[in-house]
Structure 1
Amino acid sequence: MPIGSPTVGEAELAAVAEVFRSGWLAGSGPTCRRFEERFARAVGVRHALATSSCGTALHLGLRVLGVARADEVIVADYTFLATAHAVVHAGATPVFVDVRGDTGTVDPDAVAAAVTSRTVGIIAVDVAGQPADYDELAAVARRHGLWLFEDAACAAGATYRGRPAGSLADLAAFSFHGRKGITAGEGGALVSDREELIERARRLHSYGIVPAIERESATGLPVPGCEEAGYNYRLSDVQAAIMTAQLDRLPGLLASRRAVAERYREGFADLPGVTPAVELPDREHAWQAYHLTVACGEERDRIATRLRERGIGCGFGTYACHLQPVYGSDRHLPVSARLLATRLAIPMHANLTGAEVDRVIGEVRSAVAGSP
């Protein structure tokens, strides 16, 4: 039983066939533009740019925000490495800060304490699909004149105090990786209400020149100029077609994941030494992943070994970035380190049947009890 599984089928195949018939398979074409318009509306912003991954969306966002080599960027520590890698690729220094013990999202007080004269912005992460504390983070950003960037990789369809994930900061980045709530296998998006940021990102994501689709209707033979070196960070129109079909599925996928999460909450509520995932009352979790918290790391590892022996996929949650040698961090962040050691990700996707969910619950409970 895999830890994650995409929900794809005939609708996605039909969308891809339409792109094949169109003759435009490359990136940043007409299908991409239609998807960008729909995705922007879905996440409550004016502008969206489809990208090759969430990592490239994060990097583009930092470029258009003007991040430079002497800068520090405050980064939520409990996150996949792409969040901090983007800061490194932009030439700046990631300053990791600790997180809440219940949700794993960044602690606003820790953010405020980490601001220095070199700090230019904050990257918050919607861990496993639950938005961070954006009102409090925005207040810190305003007080110090910083920008706020939402890493919404896992959070398509989530909400915070009635506002969609993606609309909660100056910029937001999404992932369409195969384990995400909506997926094209790979891909991402950068979104914002600030048109000037997205338009500059659009040039940078296509080698620094005006995308080909914008030259299609021109008279004569325009030769685009290039004022800054960009990248090939485009999403193909094939992937954009898949994503358009996935957007149609989003409400149903969220409902299915929510039902699984509720069944897990009930099934683990009375299990000693194991804490079910928390959904805060003022936000709606997208449930990209489901993390149990086990009393200690050795017990977590024992349960994981048992589950894998029984054919049930599981994982460690996500990274405590400050512990990774690549960053050379000297920070001491006990909450994030504890979550790395004690979180256990169990199967969470929209294809799970009731019987499969019950089997996961039963196997976890047996493992905790030490039953054969």
Structure 2
Amino acid sequence: MNSTIALGQPTVGDEELQAIAKVFESGWLSGAGPTCQEFESRFAQITGVSNVLATSNCGASLFLGLKVLGVKPGDEVIVGDYTFPATGHSVVWTGATPVFVDIRPDIWSIDPAQVEAAITPRTVGILAVDVFGQPADYDELRKIADKHGLWLMEDGACSAGATYKGRPAGSLADIATFSFHGRKGITAGEGGALTTDNAELTEHARKLHTYGIAPTVTREGSTDLPQPSFDEAGYNYRLSDVAAAMMLAQLDRLPTLLNNRRAVAAYYHERLKSIDRVSAPVALDDREHPWQSYVVTLDPDVDRGQLATYLKTHGIQCNFGTYASHLQPVYTFDRSLPVSADLFKRHLAIPMHANLTEIETERVMDVLAVALK
């Protein structure tokens, strides 16, 4: 019997183990240490920004970004609706209200044409999501933000290695955030980052992510006994140096990982042209898609549950795409967002990772084609 083809899979091995061994030898395993500093420097080069803060996860980065931008109870933040609810949750954690906005029907990120209509006197910013890694429309969003005196944030959880009009994801807004969860293009199992060109915001976030004081590494080598004082209640959102070591190895892998994923996407694209009742995702020419996930759109007459059962019984893992956030009961959102709601019912994620072989991708398409007949 054929083995199961995983929906997602990390690419890790000896390089990561060797990087971790160096951290073990150094004796500094805890968070926000010298290996984190090295990772932040490397990731700043990749994302084209001057400041990076490594964090424990993307949710922490989102929350810290909102906090240092001054978001508070009573504020409203406009949020792209089609996303894992961590995006909306981060707004709720500040005491503010997420105002979800419908999405483009082609690339599924927030529709700039609908953003302006959602702005009220309480609106303080726009939180765009790079859905499955493809950047949103940042030029249009920037114009709207500047017109109304709002900040702009990029939820780039899936976007490492993506570009928008030649500019790297992470440099497209006032603050951007990334995830290094096990399903992402580069991973330490968990982890995240905040990127920005604003040094003042970075230093405030760095203080908040270490309980409200500067990280211990800043006092390393001191000849006296410095005693930092707490003037603000912070959190523990630090990335461990063990995880940072894995991320350094992953950054070395990034070009190969992206090339492999793009090759898989190209093959899927070509095969889907001849398969009825399903549409391939759209990748726009003015941006580089990192293909964190490959999500197809099923025709309305396709029973997604039945199709998923068929794929899984034939060894092909699959899942729904992501969430129409406004439909989740945790939020009390009373407006209809029909594009997001419709795609939430019709999207299907099929295997996408850098380790897929030609034989495996052929099998995915063969089984999908038979199932849809």
* TM-score computed with the length of structure 1 as normaliser: 0.98
> 2: CA distance between counterparts of 1:28 and 1:331?
42
Tell which deviates more after alignment, 347-356 or 309-318: 309-318
Q: Counterpart in 1 of 2:148?
A: 144
Q: Counterpart in 2 of 1:263?
A: 267
Matched position secondary structure for 2:65? helix
Matched position secondary structure for 2:183? coil
Q: Which amino acid aligns with 1:134?
A: Y
Q: Counterpart in 2 of 1:129?
A: 133
Matched position secondary structure for 2:48? coil
1:205, distance to aligned residue in structure 2 (A)? 0.2
1:303, distance to aligned residue in structure 2 (A)? 1.4
Matched position secondary structure for 2:195? strand
> 1: CA distance between counterparts of 2:301 and 2:312?
17
Is 1:172 aligned with 2:176? yes
* TM-score computed with the length of structure 2 as normaliser: 0.98
Per-residue deviation, residues 70-115 of structure 1 (Å, max 9, x unmatched): 1000000000011000000011000000001111111001111101
Matches within 5 A, 1:325-340: 325-340=329-344
Per-residue deviation, residues 183-238 of structure 1 (Å, max 9, x unmatched): 00000000000000110000000000111000112231111011110000000000
Matched position secondary structure for 1:121? strand
Alignment match of 1:94 (pick from 86, 93, 98): 98
> 1: CA distance between counterparts of 2:306 and 2:150?
43
1:298, distance to aligned residue in structure 2 (A)? 4.9
> 2: CA distance between counterparts of 1:14 and 1:270?
45
Alignment match of 1:74 (pick from 78, 96, 108): 78
Is 1:289 aligned with 2:306? no
Per-residue deviation, residues 19-71 of structure 1 (Å, max 9, x unmatched): 00000000000000000000011110000000000000000000000001010
Whether contact under 8 Å (1:187, 1:239) holds in the other structure is yes
Matches within 5 A, 1:153-232: 153-232=157-236
Matches within 5 A, 1:318-329: 318-329=322-333
> 2: CA distance between counterparts of 1:83 and 1:192?
18
Q: Which amino acid aligns with 2:315?
A: G
Tell which deviates more after alignment, 288-297 or 94-103: 288-297
> 1: CA distance between counterparts of 2:235 and 2:176?
19
> 1: CA distance between counterparts of 2:11 and 2:253?
9
Whether contact under 8 Å (1:97, 1:114) holds in the other structure is yes
Whether contact under 8 Å (2:277, 2:302) holds in the other structure is no
Q: Counterpart in 2 of 1:364?
A: 368
1:270, distance to aligned residue in structure 2 (A)? 2.4
Q: Which amino acid aligns with 2:310?
A: R
Per-residue deviation, residues 308-350 of structure 1 (Å, max 9, x unmatched): 1112110100000000010111120000001100000000000
Whether contact under 8 Å (1:128, 1:288) holds in the other structure is yes
Alignment match of 1:355 (pick from 352, 359, 370): 359
Q: Counterpart in 2 of 1:24?
A: 28
Q: Which amino acid aligns with 1:23?
A: G
Q: Counterpart in 2 of 1:120?
A: 124
* % identical aligned pairs: 62
1:151, distance to aligned residue in structure 2 (A)? 0.3
1:299, distance to aligned residue in structure 2 (A)? 2.3
> 2: CA distance between counterparts of 1:195 and 1:226?
21
Whether contact under 8 Å (1:297, 1:342) holds in the other structure is no
Q: Which amino acid aligns with 2:170?
A: G
1:11, distance to aligned residue in structure 2 (A)? 0.4
Q: Which amino acid aligns with 1:62?
A: L
Number of residues paired by the alignment?
A: 369
Structure 2: 5+ residue runs without aligned partners?
Answer: none
1:297, distance to aligned residue in structure 2 (A)? 7.0
1:273, distance to aligned residue in structure 2 (A)? 1.6
> 2: CA distance between counterparts of 1:208 and 1:199?
11
